[in-house]
Amino acid sequence: DDYFGGKTINDTITIPDALKIRVHFSHIGAYSYIEIYEKNNPVPIEIFDRPLSDITNNWTKWCDGDTVRIESQSAEFSVDRYEALLANVSFSLDARKHTNHSAVLNLSMQEMGWALNGTHNITVVVDPYDEIDEPDEENNINTTRITVTPSLDFAVTDISFEPEEPVLNDNIEIKANITNLGNRSGETFVEVYYDNRTVELERKISGVGSSTDVISLPPGVTGARLHFKRVQVGSHGSIRIYDENGNLVGYIKEKGWTDYIYSKNITIESKCNLATESVAFKIDKYEALILNKRVALNASKSKNVTASWNATTLYGGAGHHNITVRIDPHDVFTEKNETNNTLTRQIFVNGTDLAVTNIDIPCGIDNNCYRGQDINITVMIVNFGAIDAHNLTVFFHDGVSPNHTVNTSGIADVFYPSEIFVPHFRSGESKRFNVTWTPADFGIHTITVNVSFVPLVDNNKTNNELIEFPVSVETELDFSIENVSVYPEEVKEGEPVNINVTVGNLGRVSGNVSVGFFTNRTDFAGSEGERFVRIGTTEPVYVESGGKNTTSFMWNASTHGGDHLIVAVADPDNDWVELKETKKRGDASIAFRGNDTGNNVKTCTLHIIGPDLNIINLSLDPAEPNIGDIVNITAEIKNNENTTANSTLWFYMYESISVQKLPWSLLQPEDVTMRVHFAYINISEGDEVNAYISDTKGRHPVCFYVEYGGGANAQAIKVFNISFNTTGWCAGYNESGIETENESEIVKKRWENVWTDWCNDKKLEITGRASDLYIDEYQFLLGKKTVMLKPGESKLCNLSWNASFPLEAKAAGKNYTFMAFVEGKKKEKETYLGGTDLAVTNISIEPVVEKIENEITVLDGNLVRVNATIKNFGSMNASDFNVSIYEVAPSFTHFVELFGYYSCIHYKSLGTKHVKELPAGSSVSLSLPWNASIRDILFNCTSDNFYHPYIHAWKSECNNYKIKVTIDPNENYEQNETNNYDDDTKVHVKPSRDFFIANLSFTVNNETIKPDYSGNSSKVWLNLYDNVTLNATLDIIN
């Protein structure tokens, strides 16, 4: 019998009344252990004992009887068909006669439907063992095909409930209508399940470890299937399920439902056997078996099966439940329609349903609530459920966030009371609850009210909480500057001026507030931009809510002449949180200009008359200093007025530089006040430029000054760094590099004329990344002098400068400019800072064969002397420097398989000479020996690719070289380091010797033998064991 059914082959096949049976393995996996048994025989008739390779297309031996049983251990196999012997008849038949014989295919065993249903070949073979010689052997066999179809069709056709609308704790009768739609009678099982969400089992094992959990089912429940919501099992972990007898019933590898487990206690064992892996799972529910009943159904007949379910919290509780009825639950029988064996209906068990339906807040949406205000909140709660609720609590929470798009809750409880206990809440009842809310902080608040949710009792968790958001709470303070004035409105520099201020309080509560005063000055040393400085702060002023108060500040007008803004700022240090704060620009600047400065800021104008002073002359002594000199900077100041003048004289120094790559540092030997100027900075998204100084307490950021706004509203403001989101940019560019004002298209921004803030330290670092930048200048504030001049008087003011700084790596040989400022008048003086200037002035070799221009020829093998002349062209004496001489062979390119091209070089040191001292303008000659030779050289080779290895390569018969002389100035300050080496001297090594053999003779056994030249080559005839002496004459021509 060839089997073509659609079911998987079981371990046992029985064809009732068959005489013999065998099965066909289409595949047996390597190392599988399989035993084949026949009916009523405890000894296997055939064993597949762990074959070393796969087995395919294999028939088993014949099993006597109607049953074949396959037992396996750690096996992988597939059975695709079987053969059963139905009849074996012996008979005699006369010539030209025929006879009829019959056999029975018994299809009565319904549980073997998986093997019997399908298409079968019925084959009759006469003389099966070919015992009779026949003229035609082909007609001894005949086959016909039959199809066996299922005769059973069990179905669950309907599920009903009594009562139809149950409430918690009701006993519910479940009635299921089951039908046999087939044409044969059958007997099977019916199972009824309800879903239970009371289980919440979650485990996680990180690293080597294990866990064991037992789920005990409620009384009367005889089995269940579990639902794994989440499963994580690595290659070295496992999750196993056991029944109450310790039998392994399942492996869990992925999320979903398990098979049905018939046990009152279910054990879940999880293990992880590798330290770097983890095993985790979560079981969120199960289906519980409450009825397992055997039923007999005649063909085309129906009957009702009834189960009882007690809908208490132990058995699932309130809420929606799925009731599932299954017939033929283990698929024992093959049926016409397998899809109708299971039917699920949903039922709702009504419990309590507590809902927060409304939160009534009288402020915070259309009108503001205020910090510290007592606000009455009314909350409506309803029990929509069918039963009363008991012992519940209403909770109130307040969350605050400065961002109205962020929903937070539970940060602070500022309610009285913060929770209300309710002992009894009737079904269908509505209740109002009142609490007092006193906001502890301003901002956007989230008010959350929730009522106790009791799982399995409350039907609906989603409506137990209600959120009111956003609720706006403002601060109770709002100080303002109502007016600011100065008296007198015009003063001479240094004279006192009285600044009068009226302070208002628009807030709900009274309070004390300080007032800060600022004025603007010109940055004469920089780009002559504007800087605001703080000139003083008053003691706190008490201002009633809704009232005003006055205060005043006396200031000596200690800044340069001209029109100045006098700015009064209420609460300049933000000690209070106000309804309308001071407006900030950038990261650290108050907005003093423009129409949106806020009500904390007011300005007026003060005109300061500065003295008429001139800087007649600015001189340096020495005029051209060297590194290390003490330079006297002298400024001659003249008073052009007929009154005595008092002022301040400022001294600066700057250098023009060109820096376009970061990081970059400005180093000093001692603390100095310094700053850096950027001509421009171009920033793309992700770029950022920062400035830092470092001291014993750590690294501190240095701010930048950028310009915000335009025209009369322009103001220099401080920012912590320059990034894509920093304000003050002057131009934006799209991806094509075209300037655009559409901010959505801008991918790069440009800042111009940017200064760092003044800082005092030894080192100023500029770090980060920019698309492009240009640092063009740095400045030092050298100091200041107070000057007092009588009418018409001139006076010399000086300041000493230690020319040991700026201590840059290349400080000497550069131009530095000194500036003096007084009352906006400027005088500059440029100087050259001298140092040493060591240079290689001559290279010679002795002895030489010839010299043509800059190429010298020497003989191979000669020990020559390489001479170098070093001169100090600088203005300072040089000391303790080194001179090194090298042999350099011409470089070449070398190709390496797999790695590509390498650049190969050869440098060989001939030695180093130390020079103790070389006065300015003096020269010194140095000599080192060199063995000039034609030789093979091993070159060092490197690739442009960082990841490729270093290699070496030989070059034969090298005879062309360069002599390179380098000067290491050590601690000397060089004006021009480009003269510190010379490698232009070429040397050709000429062959100097000619070796040749002048005579060759042989002595054999003390007798001179002349070669035989009769042939094309000279020959000497020798006998074995001759004593031969070879004589040769070697001539050398030098």
Q: Each residue of 483-514: pLDDT tens digit?
A: 999 999 999 998 999 999 999 998 888 889 99
CA distance 459 to 465: 14
* Ordered strands of the 302-310 beta sheet: 154-162, 171-180, 302-310
Look at residue 582 in the predicted model and tell me its pLDDT: 63
CA distance 581 to 596: 11
CA distance 52 to 334: 37
Question: For residues 871 and 839, is the Cβ–Cβ distance under 8 A?
Answer: yes
Question: For residues 843 and 966, is the Cβ–Cβ distance under 8 A?
Answer: no
Other CB atoms within a 10 A radius of the CB of residue 336 amount to: 16
pLDDT tens digits for range 516-558: 999 999 988 888 888 889 999 999 999 998 899 999 999 999 8
CA distance 529 to 704: 14
Helix, strand, coil % in the chain, rounded to nearest 5: 0, 60, 40
For tokens 């459920």, the residue is 385
Could you tell me the two tokens for 727?
């304000």
CA distance 959 to 934: 5
Taking the domains of the chain in order of start, what are their residue ranges?
12-148, 154-349, 354-474, 479-608, 613-724+761-833, 838-990, 995-1037
Residue 137, Ramachandran bin (φ over 0: left; ψ between -120 and 50: alpha; else beta): alpha
Which H or E run includes 665?
Answer: strand 664-684
Look at residue 8 in the predicted model and tell me its pLDDT: 34
Question: For residues 223 and 261, is the Cβ–Cβ distance under 8 A?
Answer: yes
Look at residue 5 in the predicted model and tell me its pLDDT: 32
The DSSP output letter for 808 is -
Query: Helices then strands (H, E): number in the chain?
Result: 1, 75
List the beta strands (DSSP E) in 709-789: 715-719, 722-723, 731-733, 748-756, 759-769, 772-789
CA distance 816 to 833: 7
Residue 218, Ramachandran bin (φ over 0: left; ψ between -120 and 50: alpha; else beta): beta
CA distance 267 to 256: 17
Helices (H), 105-196: 113-116
3-class DSSP assignment, residue 939:
strand
CA distance 615 to 639: 9
CA distance 395 to 388: 20
Question: For residues 582 and 569, is the Cβ–Cβ distance under 8 A?
Answer: yes
Whats the size of the chain, residue-wise?
A: 1038
CA distance 98 to 93: 7
CA distance 492 to 498: 13
Question: For residues 54 and 30, is the Cβ–Cβ distance under 8 A?
Answer: yes
Is residue 615 classed exposed, middle or buried when 0-12, 13-18 and 19+ CB atoms within 10 A define those classes?
A: buried
Residues with Cβ within 8 Å of 704's Cβ and at least 6 positions away in sequence, in order, are 691, 718, 719, 720, 721, 722, 754, 755, 756, 757
Which H or E run includes 566?
Answer: strand 562-570
CA distance 263 to 243: 6
CA distance 420 to 433: 8
CA distance 839 to 854: 18
Q: What's the CATH number for 354-474? A: 2.60.40.10
CA distance 274 to 206: 9
Q: Quick one: three-class SS letters along 943-997?
A: CCCCCCCCEEEEEEEECEEEEEEEEECCCCCECCHHHCEEEEEEEEEECCCEEEE
Look at residue 299 in the predicted model and tell me its pLDDT: 93
Q: Which CATH architecture has domain 479-608?
A: Sandwich (2.60)
CA distance 261 to 214: 13
Rg of the chain, C-alpha, whole Å:
53
Domains 154-349 and 354-474 share a fold: yes
For tokens 């064993």, the residue is 47
Could you tell me the two tokens for 862?
């000669």
Look at residue 767 in the predicted model and tell me its pLDDT: 95
CA distance 148 to 365: 77
Look at residue 406 in the predicted model and tell me its pLDDT: 58
CA distance 295 to 177: 12
154-349 belongs to CATH 2.60.40.10: yes
Given a cut of 50, the residues of the chain with pLDDT beneath it are 1-9, 807
Could you tell me the two tokens for 959?
């005879």
Cα 357 to chain centroid distance, Å, stands at 43
Task: Say whether pTM exceeds 0.75.
Answer: no
CA atoms within 13 A on the CB side of 648: 11
Look at residue 3 in the predicted model and tell me its pLDDT: 31
State the amino acid at position 822 in one-letter form.
V
3-class DSSP assignment, residue 1:
coil
613-724+761-833 belongs to CATH 2.60.40.10: yes
| Greatest CA separation for the chain | 165
| 838-990 fold | Immunoglobulin-like (2.60.40)
Look at residue 409 in the predicted model and tell me its pLDDT: 58
Question: For residues 452 and 354, is the Cβ–Cβ distance under 8 A?
Answer: yes
Cα 916 to chain centroid distance, Å, stands at 57
In the chain, the N- to C-terminal Cα span, in Å, equals 108
Interstrand relation of 490-492 and 601-609 (parallel, antiparallel or unpaired): parallel
Could you tell me the two tokens for 840?
């290689």
CA distance 706 to 683: 14
Going by C-alpha positions, the residue among 586, 556, 570 that lies closest to residue 492 is 556
